[in-house]
């Protein structure tokens, strides 16, 4: 029996962070035993807002690949591949751009947020505005039906499915399957600065490769409740970044609920909850960082994993591209 296909990926804009872990990597670790999984090192998508810093995008490829392997992605089970070396993805993107309007792209809530966040004003790179069509190409080229992503990505999967329906309607048959987003309950992880989303580009992330000192400093600087001045004051748990992170990573739920109650009543200091969070993050990141340090000593191995994965993905995506070209009724050679 063939397994359902999973496609997801990460922009190669820097090392992965604990938001990726909670938002998507945990699901990917589970899927590699039950599904056929592809992970895309999304360097062409990273270029859509980093065209003037291609070095960052290139260096990010190794960073993200190392993070995948260090966190437990097994290349024998999951195919890791490089977006810029899969020509069918670019070709499908060009075809799909004819099945989406500029107005629809501009209305996409994720794109709207990201355009605002990046301060593009009216100078939006065309590649950036159009990346939802490219993402539709990524997903459908693998005929993926399952896409484990963070909550911020839901509108993009919706837009992918709109394109799929239009292609299928034009073809008069189901050339492509629709995809389902798998979004973790925890939602998106905020940044250490309290901003709505931790992101590589936001400078508000704790990397999965962070050193013990970096973890300690990030927790120390974390935003709690500005009105919780003395230990005996009642404090707010909602919107308190330390508690949001404890919610995401503390497995001892009973103790956590007790701590929340005590914090609300008053009598629990910020330093105590920060120490607890720091211990949890050190224990989560420590082993990953150690494995990553080992793997980084053998870049040839990592490169080989990417090469072999890209090779496998190339024939798969090329087949889909031909099916779409044929389905659309274009000339076939
Ligand atoms: P960039 O700032 O370059 O956009 P990013 O940190 O947003 O980087 P992406 O590569 O864009 O990371 O996202 C990869 C995947 O990780 C997506 O599925 C996204 O939904 C998920 N993800 C990213 N940040 C978070 C977060 N803070 N919480 C939950 N999921 C996240
Ligand atoms: Mg992002």
Q: Where do the structural domains in the chain lie, given as residue ranges?
A: 5-189+299-327, 212-293
Quote the ligand 2 centre to 10 CA distance (angstroms).
8
Task: Give percent above pLDDT 90 in the chain.
Answer: 89
pLDDT of residue 197: 87
In 136-278, which ranges are E strands? 146-148, 180-182
CA distance 126 to 39: 25
Check whether 202 has a pLDDT greater than 90.
no
pLDDT digits (tens, 9 = 90+) for 187-197: 789 999 888 88
pLDDT grade for 308, boundaries at 50, 70 and 90: very high
Please tell me the pTM assigned to this model.
0.94
Q: Tell me the best of 9, 18, 152, 153 to mutate to test the pocket of ligand 1, counting ligand atoms within 8 Å of each CB and taking the most.
A: 152
pLDDT grade for 43, boundaries at 50, 70 and 90: very high
Q: Tell me the best of 7, 11, 41 to mutate to test the pocket of ligand 1, counting ligand atoms within 8 Å of each CB and taking the most.
A: 11
Ligand 1 atom 8, closest CA: 200
Give the bridge partners for 207, in sequence order: 17
Check whether 185 has a pLDDT greater than 80.
no
Q: Characterize 174-212 residue by residue with b for buried, 16 or more Cβ atoms within 10 angstroms of its Cβ, and e for exposed.
A: ebbbebebbbbebbbbbbbeeeebbbbbbebbbbbbbee
pLDDT of residue 184: 83
CA distance 57 to 196: 24
Does ligand 1 have an atom closer than 6 angstroms to the CB of 93? no
**Max intra-chain CA distance, the chain:** 77
Task: State phi, psi for 6 to the nearest 5 degrees.
Answer: -110, 130
Does ligand 1 have an atom closer than 6 angstroms to the CB of 50? no
pLDDT of residue 111: 95
Best-predicted range by mean pLDDT among 47-56, 179-188, 226-235?
A: 47-56
Check whether 1 has a pLDDT greater than 80.
no
Q: Closest Cα partner for 25 from 36, 1, 9? A: 9
Place of tokens 């009973």: 254
Pairing state of beta strands 180-182 and 5-11?
unpaired
> Distance between alpha carbon 32 and the CA centroid of its chain, in Å?
16
Quote the ligand 2 centre to 12 CA distance (angstroms).
10
212-293 and 5-189+299-327 share a CATH fold: no
Quote the ligand 1 centre to 239 CA distance (angstroms).
20
pLDDT digits (tens, 9 = 90+) for 245-272: 999 999 999 999 999 999 999 999 999 9
Quote the ligand 2 centre to 198 CA distance (angstroms).
9
Among all bound ligands, the one having the nearest atom to the CA of 199 is: 1
Q: Tell me the best of 10, 31, 53, 205 to mutate to test the pocket of ligand 1, counting ligand atoms within 8 Å of each CB and taking the most.
A: 10
Ligand 1 atom 19, closest CA: 150
Task: State phi, psi for 233 to the nearest 5 degrees.
Answer: -70, 145
Q: Taking CA 175 as the corner, what is the angle to CA 174 and CA 179, rounded to the nearest 5 degrees?
A: 80
CA distance 282 to 211: 9
Mean pLDDT calculated for residue range 14-19: 96
Mean pLDDT calculated for residue range 171-184: 96
pLDDT of residue 203: 87
pLDDT of residue 19: 93
Mean pLDDT calculated for residue range 82-94: 98
State the chain's mean pLDDT as an integer: 95
Token readout for 93 is 């993107």
Does ligand 1 have an atom closer than 6 angstroms to the CB of 148? no
pLDDT grade for 229, boundaries at 50, 70 and 90: confident
Does ligand 1 have an atom closer than 6 angstroms to the CB of 260? no
pLDDT of residue 9: 96
Task: Give percent above pLDDT 70 in the chain.
Answer: 100
Q: Characterize 49-65 residue by residue with b for buried, 16 or more Cβ atoms within 10 angstroms of its Cβ, and e for exposed.
A: bbeeeeebbeebbbbbb
Tell me the DSSP string of 80-109: EEEGGG-HHHHHHHHHHGGGS-HHHHHH-H
Q: Does domain 5-189+299-327 have CATH number 3.40.50.620?
A: yes
Quote the ligand 1 centre to 255 CA distance (angstroms).
29
pLDDT digits (tens, 9 = 90+) for 271-307: 999 999 999 999 999 999 999 999 999 999 999 999 9
Quote the ligand 2 centre to 315 CA distance (angstroms).
28
Q: Which of 47-51, 103-107, 219-223 has the lowest mean pLDDT?
A: 219-223
Q: How many CA atoms does the CB half-sphere of 210 hold within 13 Å?
A: 23
Token readout for 42 is 């999304």
Q: Does domain 212-293 have CATH number 1.10.240.10?
A: yes
59 to 38, 55, 90, 237: CA distances (angstroms): 21, 6, 21, 39
pLDDT of residue 200: 86
Mean pLDDT calculated for residue range 128-145: 98
């Amino acid at each position: 029996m063939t397994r359902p296909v999973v496609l997801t990926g990460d922009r190669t804009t820097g090392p992965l962070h604990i938001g990726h872990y909670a938002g998507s990597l945990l699901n990917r670790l589970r899927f590699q035993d039950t599904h056929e999984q592809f992970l895309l090192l999304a360097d062409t998508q990273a270029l859509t807002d980093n065209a003037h810093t291609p070095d960052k995008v290139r260096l990010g490829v190794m960073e993200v690949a190392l993070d995948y392997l260090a966190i437990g992605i097994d290349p024998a089970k999951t195919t890791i591949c490089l977006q810029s070396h899969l020509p069918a993805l670019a070709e499908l993107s060009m075809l799909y751009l004819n099945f989406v309007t500029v107005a629809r792209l501009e209305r996409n809530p994720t794109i709207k947020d990201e355009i605002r966040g990046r301060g593009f004003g009216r100078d939006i790179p065309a590649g950036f505005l159009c990346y939802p069509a490219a993402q539709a190409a990524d997903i459908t080229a693998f005929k993926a039906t399952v896409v484990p992503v963070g909550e911020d990505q839901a509108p993009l999967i919706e837009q992918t499915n709109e394109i799929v329906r239009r292609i299928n309607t034009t073809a008069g048959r189901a050339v492509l399957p629709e995809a389902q987003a798998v979004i973790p309950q925890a939602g998106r992880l905020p940044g250490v600065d309290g901003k709505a989303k931790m992101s590589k580009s936001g400078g508000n992330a704790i990397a999965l490769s962070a050193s013990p000192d970096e973890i300690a400093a990030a927790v120390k600087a974390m935003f709690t409740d500005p009105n919780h001045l003395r230990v005996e004051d009642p404090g707010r748990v909602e919107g308190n970044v330390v508690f949001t992170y404890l919610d995401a990573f503390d497995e001892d739920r009973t103790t956590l609920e007790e701590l929340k109650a005590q914090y609300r009543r008053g009598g629990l200091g910020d330093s105590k909850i920060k120490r607890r969070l720091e211990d949890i993050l050190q224990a989560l990141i420590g082993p990953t960082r150690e494995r990553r340090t080992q793997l980084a000593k053998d870049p040839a191995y990592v490169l080989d994993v990417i090469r072999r994965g890209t090779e496998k993905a190339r024939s798969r995506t090329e087949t889909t591209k031909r099916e779409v070209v044929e389905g659309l009724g274009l000339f076939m050679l």
